[in-house]
Amino acid sequence: MNSNAVVLNNTIVGSSVTQDGAGVYCDSSPALIEANIIAYNDGGAALYCLDDDKPATFRLNLLWENEKGAIAGACPTYPAEDGNCREDPAFLDRLNADFRRPAELQSRSCSPTAGARDWDRSQPPLVPDSVLARWRQWIQRDDSE
C-alpha cells in the first residue's frame, strides 16, 4: 500500500478475506507483480487494485482457482495479456502445504520460475541483483511519469 512494491517469484496460496483482495491487494501504488503463482485464494481475486491512476504491472503470473477470478477493483484487464495464464499449478501436496511443483510442469508453465523454493532458513534471504536492478528501473520510470 502506497509504495512501489516488487512481488516477484512468490507462491501466494490459501489467503482468505471477507472484502476486497485475496492474493495481492494494491492501494495507490504502481507495484510490480511478476512471475508468481497465485492460487486457491478465498473471498477475493488474485489481484485487487484500489486505484487506477497508477495501476500495478501484473505479468507472467500463473493464476488458478481464486474465488473472484484474476482481477477486481480498478485493475486494467490483464489475464491472457503480459504472459499471465490460468493453469493448474499441480502442487505436490497442497493440503499439507507442499507447494512445490514437479519439474516437468515448471518447464511448460507460463511462469516457469514461480513457485516455492527450498532455501537455507538459517541465513536471511538476499535480494538478488537482478531484482534490485528491476526495482530501480521501476522507480525511475514511475518518477519520470
CB contact at 8 A, 35 and 12: no
Condensed to tens digits (0 to 9), the pLDDT of residues 5-22 reads 888 889 899 888 866 777
Residue 62, beta-bridge partner list: 37, 85
Task: Encode pLDDT of 80-105 as tens digits.
Answer: 566 788 888 888 888 888 888 887 77
Residue 23 CA to residue 145 CA, distance in Å, equals 28
Its pTM surpasses 0.85: no
